[in-house]
A and B are shown apart, each in its own frame.
Chain A
Amino acid sequence: MADQDTIDLVKTIEVDKYKYGFETDIESDYAPKGLNEDIVRFISDKKGEPQWMLDWRLEAYRAWLHMEDPTWAKVSFPKIDYQDLYYYAAPKSMAAPKSLDEIDPKLLETYAKLGIPLKEQEILAGIRKQGEKSMLDEDGNEVTTGRVAIDAVFDSVSVVTTFKDELKKAGVIFCSISEALREHPELVRQYLGSVVPQGDNFYAGLNSAVFSDGSFVYVPPGVRCPMELSTYFRMNAKNTGQFERTLIIADKGSYVSYLEGCTAPTREESQLHAAVVELIAHEDAEIKYSTVQNWYPGDAEGKGGVYNFVTKRGDCRGARSKISWTQVETGSAITWKYPSVILRGESSRGEFYSIAISNGRQQVDSGTKMIHLGKNSSSRIISKGIAAGRSDNTYRGLVSAHRKATNARNFTQCDSLLIGDQCGAHTVPYIESKTSTAQFEHEATTSKISDDQMFYCMSRGLSQEEAVALIVNGFVRDVLQQLPMEFMAETQKLIGISLEGSVG
Chain B
Amino acid sequence: MLKIENLHVKLEDEPREILKGLSLNVKAGEVHAIMGPNGSGKSTLSYVLSGRDGYEVTEGAVAFKGEDLLAMDPNTRAAKGVFLAFQYPIEIPGVATMQFLKVALNSQRKARGEKELSIPDFMRFVKERAAKLNISQEMLKRPVNVGFSGGEKKRAEILQMAVLEPSLCILDETDSGLDIDALKVVADGVNALRSPDRAMIVITHYQRLLDYIVPDFVHVLSAGKIVKSGGKELAHELEANGYAEFVEKVA
Contacts and interface: CB of A to CB of B under 8 A. Distances in A.
Interface of A: 1, 4, 133-136, 138-142, 450-453, 455-464, 466, 470-471, 473-478
B78 interface: yes
A451 B96 contact: no
B96 A458 contact: no
Contacts of A477: 93-95
Contacts of A457: 92, 104
Contacts of A460: 75, 78, 100, 104, 107-108, 160, 164
Interface stretch (B25-33, B49-57, B182-190): B49-57
B52 A455 contact: yes
- Chain B interface SS verdict (over half): helix
Interface in B29-73: 50-54, 73
B96 A138 contact: yes
Given A1-B54, A136-B119, A451-B53, A461 B78 contact: yes
* Most chain A Cβ neighbours within 10 Å, of B75, B123, B140: B75
B103 interface: yes
B90 interface: yes
B120 interface: yes
Given A138-B96, A455-B52, A460-B108, 14 more contacts: A134-B119, A139-B96, A140-B96, A141-B141, A453-B91, A459-B74, A459-B77, A460-B75, A460-B160, A461-B164, A462-B75, A470-B92, A476-B94, A477-B95
A473 B95 contact: yes
10 contacts: A136-B102, A140-B96, A140-B97, A455-B90, A456-B89, A459-B77, A460-B160, A462-B103, A463-B73, A470-B95
B119 A142 contact: yes
Contact of B120 (A142, A473, A476): A142
B143 interface: yes
Contact of B90 (A135, A139, A452): A452
Interface of B: 50-54, 73-75, 77-79, 83-84, 86, 89-100, 102-105, 107-108, 111, 118-120, 123, 140-141, 143, 160, 164
A473 B94 contact: yes
Given A1-B54, A466-B107, A139 B92 contact: no
Contacts of B111: 461
Contacts of B74: 455, 458-459
B98 A139 contact: yes
Given A133-B119, A455-B74, A458-B78, A475 B52 contact: no
Contacts of A455: 52-53, 74, 90
Contact of A1 (B52, B93, B107): B52
Given A458-B75, A462-B104, A466-B103, A140 B95 contact: no
A499 to B, nearest CB: 15
Nearest to A471: B92
Contacts of A452: 90
Contact of A459 (B84, B102, B118, B123): B84
* Most chain A Cβ neighbours within 10 Å, of B89, B92, B118: B92
B103 A470 contact: yes
B96 A456 contact: no
Given A133-B119, A462-B75, A463-B75, A456 B90 contact: yes
Contacts of B104: 457, 460-462
A145 to B, nearest CB: 13
Contacts of B90: 450, 452-453, 455-456
Nearest to A451: B53
A136 B102 CA distance: 9
A477 B107 CA distance: 21
A474 B143 contact: yes
A34 to B, nearest CB: 49
Contact of B94 (A134, A141, A478): A478
* Most chain B Cβ neighbours within 10 Å, of A452, A460, A462, A463: A460
